Each structure stands twice: as C-alpha cells, then as structure tokens.
Structure 1
Amino acid sequence: MNHKKQILVAEHDTTLRELLEYLLQRQGYAIESVSDGEFAKRQLMSHKTYDLVILDLLLPIVSGSQLLKWLRDYETHRHMPVLILTDLQDDDDIADALDAGADDYMIKPFQPKELQARIRKLLRIKKD
C-alpha cells in the first residue's frame, strides 16, 4: 500500500495557497490548506499527524512563529518537520525561526523545483 504523504499548508495568500496545492498535488502529496494560524492549530489538534507542515510566518490570528512554538511544545507534534515559507528575509527572522525549531526556511518568491527538493529532503528525514 502506497501511503500518500500528508502535508498541511498554512498560507494567508489565497493565490499562493492554491498554487502550492496544485504543485504539491501534482507531486502526489495529499494536501490540506488553511489561511490562518488558528485554523492550522485546530487542524493539527484534530488530525492524527502530518508528514510535513509548510508554514508562513505572517499568518493572521495566530502567527506562524506562535504556531511553530506551539508545535514544538506539543508532545505529539514535536518532531513533525516544518518548512517555513515566508516573505520575511531579515537575518533575525530566519535565525529566530530556525532556533525555534523550524527544519528549513525559504523566502518568497520561491522556485518550485527548489521547494520540491527541500520537501523531499524533509520527508526523507522523517522515517521513525
């Protein structure tokens, strides 16, 4: 049985969220997408577990930074890979996200091939 990798996309920009869904579904991933951090948190609390979370830091209601901290403090999601995909490109923002537990960090606009390669890398890491 071939298990489709489950990815949660938390992105406030509708156009980009739909583009990410399209790109990732074409790669064979099962995608759930949300537009704010509060809904992302609800999905994470109700869903068993995702293989990867793609997280924008600039989410409304609950920010991506708050969500990342919550994920790393929440026992069942502590080791879930998180890829930050955001407009924030300041060195401090990048360092803060990585120090807070992000597994990778990409700045928008992104190259689809690079994004796909980074996703494959993160999904290979999660074998336990």
Structure 2
Amino acid sequence: MMETILIVDDDAHIREILRYKLVEAGYKTIEAGNGSEAIEQFTNLAPDLLILDIMMPEMDGTEVCREIRQTSTTPIIFLSSKDEEIDRIVGLELGGDDYVTKPFSP
C-alpha cells in the first residue's frame, strides 16, 4: 500500500515542489493551503505523515499540531522559515517529530 503524505503550506510553489519529489519517490500526496484545510484533510483522509508549515493564514502550524496531537501520533515534520533555535525547540515540544528550515533542498 502506498503511504500518503499531507503537505500543508500556504505557498503553492513549495507544495508543488514537495509533491513532485514525493510522488517521484513513490508516495501519494494530498495538500492543504492553510491550517483549517489541514485539519479537514487529516480528519477525512488519515495520512501517514504531515509536512507542516508554521506560518499560515486561518490557523498556524502550531495550532494544527496541537489539535492533531489530541487524537493522533501520526508523524509531523515542521517545515518553516522560522530558523531560530527556540523555534525548533518549541516545534518539537509541541509534538513535532522533526523540524526542517526553509530554504531547503528537496
């Protein structure tokens, strides 16, 4: 069975790059452009992994992580332009499994 990855970022270009590389690597992808869409997609489709931006409209990535962690242990990788050490610590303490900063090499 193909693993499904939910890509959550308000930047369509970032989602497109990630989708291309993940599909090329054999994964199925679904996408959300904001936190509210992310919660809806997560609830309806139960992905195997989330790649989650922090700074987004409507509901930011930290709020999404908090909500998901109430009911799920699905791995979450934060992908953010916030690159200070404290940002990484907060992301991991909130329940993120890893923290990658932008820009990145896919």
1:111 alignment partner, SS class: coil
Alignment partner of 1:54 is 2:48: no
Structure 1 residues not aligned, in runs of 5+: 113-128
> What RMSD over aligned residues (CA atoms) do the two structures have, in Å?
0.8
Equivalence map 1:69-88=2 (5 Å): 69-73=66-70, 75=71, 77=72, 79-88=73-82
2:103 alignment partner, SS class: coil
Deviations 1:27-62 (A, max 9, x none): 010000111000001111222x21100000011101
Give the letter aligned to residue 42 of structure 1.
E
Give the letter aligned to residue 69 of structure 2.
R
Indicate the residue corresponding to 1:15 in structure 2.
13
Once residues 69 and 97 of structure 1 are traced to their aligned partners in structure 2, the CA distance between those partners, rounded to angstroms, is: 10
2:89 alignment partner, SS class: helix
- Alignment length (residue pairs): 106
Structure with greater helix percent: 1
Which one of 84, 92, 95 corresponds to residue 90 of structure 1?
84
Higher relative contact order (CA 8 A, sep 6+): 2
Which one of 39, 42, 47 corresponds to residue 40 of structure 2?
42
TM-score by length of 2: 0.96
Once residues 45 and 72 of structure 1 are traced to their aligned partners in structure 2, the CA distance between those partners, rounded to angstroms, is: 12
2:7 alignment partner, SS class: strand
Indicate the residue corresponding to 1:121 in structure 2.
none
Give the letter aligned to residue 64 of structure 1.
G
Which one of 63, 68, 71 corresponds to residue 66 of structure 1?
63
TM-score by length of 1: 0.80
- What fraction of aligned residue pairs are identical, expressed as a percent? 31
Which one of 20, 25, 29 corresponds to residue 27 of structure 1?
25
Deviations 1:80-123 (A, max 9, x none): 000011100111111111001100000011122xxxxxxxxxxx
